[in-house]
């Protein structure tokens, strides 16, 4: 069969992941349309190879060799679908850069994503992770998405309920993992700005800058960007995948135990449970700024693992295992990684 898109053999991925890890894909294709994506899936089925979708490469740890078809999803397009006095419905294709989409939405009078500014990656990856920051999550404005079934090549529709969103979680990380590639996302945003400044650090910064004056959406977005740049290294300068661990959730009884042993522990209530600050746990375990070979924790934010140069996926995995072990030994709390691990041929971790 002849395939209308270019499929590369033994393609280097070092510049396709923000950790800057050396990795080679058995096959690689950039898809710019739904038809090209269907063609790529047909190719993978004929080769009997798994398909690994890749967007901005900001939330993955790649092994040395991926015996798979790596598909770079480059579908582009943004549109305002409808508008009334309360809400603005917008749609974006999966390959759109997330931060650029946020800025576009604000420029078009669609508000609610300003707290999610500067989150790396693409629109298509956002629902998988249910991205969130500074008191806002994607699910807050989510309406639906379209995704291609990897087995059938058909496009299917998912509403909010069928996505099963949780904290940095969705069905695409659980029961429907490795079964779909997202191709578009539709959101309902606010027609008027409703600032969400309840997150302490963001609220404090906006208050210092604007006092009694009401900040604009762009003002809030810029404040979020400034906080993120202060805490997180630029991946174009220092290889990293952003926050590497989720903030763990514990029961009230577990929180009582931890509070008694560590009165200064950083946590906040979530329903009947408590969410712990993973960065604080790592810092208190003495791991902030620590380095083993080419991998280390960022000196200004212990939650971030960085590639000092020359690290491999296995190095990152081993270093993150060490962090999990030391935090668990000290606090009795197991940290869960955020990035997806693609470590071995035909084995998607």
Q: What is the pLDDT of residue 230?
A: 87
> Sorting pLDDT into bands at 50, 70 and 90, what band is 348?
very low
Q: What is the pLDDT of residue 344?
A: 64
Q: What is the pLDDT of residue 5?
A: 85
Question: In Å, how far are 126, 150, 185, 281 from 39, measured between CA atoms?
Answer: 24, 11, 22, 46
Q: What is the pLDDT of residue 3?
A: 54
**For residues 152-176, average pLDDT:** 95
Residue pLDDT, tens place only, 32-75: 999 999 999 999 999 999 999 998 899 999 999 999 999 999 99
Question: In Å, how far are 7, 164, 171, 302 from 245, measured between CA atoms?
Answer: 34, 21, 19, 10
Give the distance between the most distant pair of CA atoms in the chain: 66
Cα(178)–Cα(198) distance, integer angstroms: 36
Burial classification of residue 128, based on how many CB atoms lie within 10 Å of its CB (0-12 exposed, 13-18 middle, 19 or more buried):
buried
CB within 8 Å of 321: residues ≥ 6 apart:
none
> Sorting pLDDT into bands at 50, 70 and 90, what band is 320?
very high
Q: What is the pLDDT of residue 4?
A: 66
Q: Which residue has the tokens 């960022």?
A: 298
| Sign of the torsion formed by the C-alpha atoms of 200, 267, 193 and 243 | positive
- Structure-block tokens of residue 343: 């470590």
State the average pLDDT for the chain: 94
Cα(280)–Cα(267) distance, integer angstroms: 9
**For residues 87-107, average pLDDT:** 97
Residue pLDDT, tens place only, 168-227: 899 999 999 999 999 999 999 999 999 999 887 898 999 999 888 899 999 999 999 999
Whether the predicted pLDDT of 345 surpasses 80: no
CB within 8 Å of 32: residues ≥ 6 apart:
74, 75, 76, 95
Residue pLDDT, tens place only, 232-271: 898 889 999 989 999 999 999 999 999 999 999 999 898 8
Whether the predicted pLDDT of 123 surpasses 90: yes
Task: Name the residue among 36, 124, 110, 121 with its Cα closest to residue 79.
Answer: 110
Task: Name the residue among 97, 117, 120 with its Cα closest to residue 240.
Answer: 120
Rg over alpha carbons for the chain, rounded to the nearest Å, is 21
CB within 8 Å of 49: residues ≥ 6 apart:
26, 27, 67, 68, 69
Cα(322)–Cα(91) distance, integer angstroms: 41
Could you tell me which residue, 201 or 26, shows the higher pLDDT?
A: 26
Residue 13: DSSP 8-state? -
Helix (H) or strand (E) holding 137: strand 136-137
Across-strand partners of 155? 148
**For residues 10-38, average pLDDT:** 96
What positions carry a catalytic annotation? 168, 243, 338
Q: What is the pLDDT of residue 212?
A: 85
């Amino acid at each position: 069969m002849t395939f209308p898109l270019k499929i590369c053999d033994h393609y280097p991925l070092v510049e396709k992941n923000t950790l800057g890890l050396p990795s080679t894909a058995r096959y690689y294709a950039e898809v710019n349309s739904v038809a090209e994506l269907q063609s790529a899936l047909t190719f993978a089925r004929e080769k009997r190879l798994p398909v690994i979708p890749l967007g901005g490469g900001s939330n993955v740890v790649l092994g040395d060799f991926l015996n798979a078809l790596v598909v770079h999803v480059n579908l582009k397009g943004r549109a305002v679908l409808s508008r009334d006095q309360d809400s603005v419905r917008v749609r974006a294709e999966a390959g759109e850069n997330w931060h650029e989409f946020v800025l576009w939405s604000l420029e078009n009078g669609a508000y609610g994503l300003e707290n999610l500014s500067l989150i790396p990656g693409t629109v298509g990856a956002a629902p998988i992770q249910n991205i969130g920051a500074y008191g806002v999550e994607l699910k807050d404005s989510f309406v639906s998405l379209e995704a291609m079934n990897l087995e059938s090549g058909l496009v299917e529709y998912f509403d909010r309920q069928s996505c099963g969103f949780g904290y940095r979680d969705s069905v695409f990380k659980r029961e429907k993992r490795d079964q779909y590639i997202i191709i578009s996302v539709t959101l309902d945003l606010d027609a008027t700005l409703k600032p969400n400044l309840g997150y302490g650090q963001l609220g404090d910064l906006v208050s210092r800058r604007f006092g009694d004056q009401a900040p604009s959406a762009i003002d809030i977005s810029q404040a979020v960007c400034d906080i993120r740049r202060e805490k997180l290294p630029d991946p174009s300068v220092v290889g990293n995948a952003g926050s590497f661990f989720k903030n763990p959730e514990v029961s009230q009884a577990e929180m009582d135990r931890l509070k008694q042993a560590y009165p200064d522990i950083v946590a906040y209530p979530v329903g009947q449970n408590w969410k712990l600050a993973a960065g604080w746990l790592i810092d208190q375990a003495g791991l902030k700024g620590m380095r083993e070979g080419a991998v280390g924790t960022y000196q200004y934010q212990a939650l971030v693992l960085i590639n000092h140069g020359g690290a491999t996926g296995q190095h990152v995995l081993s270093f993150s295992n060490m962090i999990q072990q030391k935090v668990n030994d000290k606090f009795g709390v197991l940290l869960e990684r955020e990035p997806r691990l693609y470590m071995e041929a035909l084995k998607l971790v």
